[in-house]
Amino acid sequence: MRLFSDLNLNGRTPAQVRPNLGDWGPELVPSTRSKKRARFWVVPAFVGALLVVAGVFWFLVTQLTTG
C-alpha cells in the first residue's frame, strides 16, 4: 500500500492525447515536483511552529510563576 497518492494527474495517458497546459484547464497548475516538495516541507514547518508555540508558552509560564 502506498503512503501517498500518485501526483501525476495524466496517469498512463498517451502523450498525443494530453492537452498542453492552458488548453483545457488553468495555466498556473503546480507541477508534480513542486507538489512533492511542498509535501516534504509541511512536516518540518509544522514541527517548527509547534516548537515555537511550546517555547513561548514555557517562557510565559516561567515568567508568571517565578516573578
> 48 lies in which domain range?
32-66
Residue 36, domain member (yes or no): yes
Looking at residue 16, its pLDDT comes to 80
Residue 44, domain member (yes or no): yes
In angstroms, the CA 11 to CA 24 distance is 17
**Number of domains within the chain:** 1
Residue 41, domain member (yes or no): yes
| pLDDT tens per residue across span 10-65 | 778 887 887 776 666 666 778 889 989 999 999 999 999 999 999 999 999 999 99
Residue 45, domain member (yes or no): yes
pTM: 0.56
Residue 5, domain member (yes or no): no
**Helices (H), ranges, 1-67:** 32-66
